[in-house]
Amino acid sequence: MTDVPIENVETYQLKDGEKTTMTINLAKGSDGKSHFAVLGISLSLDKTSEGYKKYGPAALDEKSTIVLNDINVIVRKYTIEQFNADTDAVKKAILKDIQDMFW
C-alpha cells in the first residue's frame, strides 16, 4: 500500500441498495455461540491513479454486490475472538481481495 496525499483521496461508501451497513455471521468460536459483525464499508481511492477512471466510483457502483459478497465471505471465516484480536488482519484480507479483483 502506498501513501497518497489527502487531497488525492476520495472516500467511497459501498452500499447494498440503500443500506450502508452489512451484518455478517462470524464463525463459531470456542464458546459455540453465534456472533455477528455489523460493518460499514468505505474505500479510499487515489483520484490520481491511472485506474481511477476505469475502477472509480462508477465501476464500484456496478460491482458493489460482488465486492460486498466477497467481504462477507472473508469476514465470516473469522471467529469473534480472531476478529477482535486482529482487525488489521481482516482489513488486509479484504484489501488484498479487492485489489486482486480490480487489478
DSSP state of 8: G
55 three-class SS: helix
Give start and end residues of each alpha helix (H) in the chain.
52-55, 57-75, 80-85, 87-102
Contacts of 79 (CB under 8 A, 6+ apart): 26, 27, 28, 29, 30, 35
pLDDT digits over 70-83, tens only?
A: 999 999 999 999 99
pLDDT digits over 30-62, tens only?
A: 999 999 999 999 999 999 998 898 888 988 888
Domain residue spans of the chain:
6-102
